[in-house]
Amino acid sequence: MTAAEKYVAAAYLVVFVVVLAYVLIIATKLARLEREVAELTELAQARVERQPERKAVAIG
Protein backbone atom coordinates (compact mmCIF):
# COMPACT_ATOMS: atom_id res chain seq x y z
CA MET A 1 0.00 0.00 0.00
CA THR A 2 1.48 3.37 -1.03
CA ALA A 3 1.54 6.45 1.24
CA ALA A 4 -1.14 8.16 -0.90
CA GLU A 5 -3.41 5.12 -0.61
CA LYS A 6 -2.97 5.12 3.18
CA TYR A 7 -3.87 8.81 3.46
CA VAL A 8 -6.91 8.48 1.16
CA ALA A 9 -8.11 5.47 3.18
CA ALA A 10 -7.55 7.40 6.43
CA ALA A 11 -9.58 10.41 5.18
CA TYR A 12 -12.51 8.18 4.15
CA LEU A 13 -12.24 6.24 7.40
CA VAL A 14 -12.45 9.48 9.42
CA VAL A 15 -15.82 10.31 7.81
CA PHE A 16 -17.05 6.77 8.44
CA VAL A 17 -15.90 6.72 12.09
CA VAL A 18 -17.37 10.17 12.88
CA VAL A 19 -20.75 9.22 11.35
CA LEU A 20 -20.65 5.88 13.19
CA ALA A 21 -19.88 7.62 16.50
CA TYR A 22 -22.80 9.98 15.88
CA VAL A 23 -25.15 7.05 15.17
CA LEU A 24 -23.93 5.32 18.37
CA ILE A 25 -24.66 8.45 20.43
CA ILE A 26 -28.14 8.71 18.87
CA ALA A 27 -28.71 4.99 19.61
CA THR A 28 -27.72 5.53 23.27
CA LYS A 29 -30.16 8.45 23.49
CA LEU A 30 -32.92 6.34 21.95
CA ALA A 31 -32.27 3.59 24.51
CA ARG A 32 -32.63 6.19 27.29
CA LEU A 33 -35.90 7.42 25.75
CA GLU A 34 -37.16 3.83 25.59
CA ARG A 35 -36.40 3.40 29.32
CA GLU A 36 -38.20 6.65 30.08
CA VAL A 37 -41.27 5.54 28.09
CA ALA A 38 -41.35 2.27 30.06
CA GLU A 39 -41.04 4.19 33.35
CA LEU A 40 -43.84 6.59 32.40
CA THR A 41 -46.08 3.71 31.31
CA GLU A 42 -45.61 2.11 34.75
CA LEU A 43 -46.34 5.45 36.40
CA ALA A 44 -49.52 5.88 34.36
CA GLN A 45 -50.67 2.31 35.14
CA ALA A 46 -50.05 2.79 38.88
CA ARG A 47 -52.04 6.01 38.74
CA VAL A 48 -55.00 4.28 37.04
CA GLU A 49 -54.94 1.47 39.64
CA ARG A 50 -54.93 3.97 42.52
CA GLN A 51 -58.11 5.66 41.29
CA PRO A 52 -61.29 4.44 43.10
CA GLU A 53 -63.70 2.44 41.00
CA ARG A 54 -66.67 4.44 39.83
CA LYS A 55 -70.12 3.10 40.52
CA ALA A 56 -72.98 3.48 38.05
CA VAL A 57 -75.74 5.73 39.38
CA ALA A 58 -79.23 6.27 38.03
CA ILE A 59 -79.84 9.75 36.70
CA GLY A 60 -83.25 11.41 36.90
Partner 1 sequence: MLPANRLPVLAAAALGLMVAAIAVVAYVAPIDADQGLSQKIFYFHVPVALTAYAAFGWGAWKALRHLWRREPGADLESYVAIHLGVIFGVMTLLTGSIWAKISWGRWWVWSSDQLVLFLVLFLFYAAYFMLRFSVDPGPRRANLSAVYALFGVALIPVSFLAIRLSNDIIHPVVFKSSGPDMSGTMFFAFCLSWAAMLVLAATLYHVELAGKRLDQRLKELREVLVT
Question: Where on the chain is the footprint of partner 1 (CB under 8 A)?
Answer: 2-5, 7-8, 10-12, 14-15, 18-19, 22, 26, 29-30, 33, 36-37, 40, 43-44, 47
CB of 51 to partner 1, least distance (A): 13
Mapped onto helix, strand or coil, the DSSP state of residue 60 is coil
Residue (50 or 54) nearer to partner 1, CB? 50
3-state helix, strand, coil split of the chain in percent (to 5) is 80, 0, 20
Residue (51 or 56) nearer to partner 1, CB? 51
Q: How far apart are the first and last CA of the chain?
A: 92
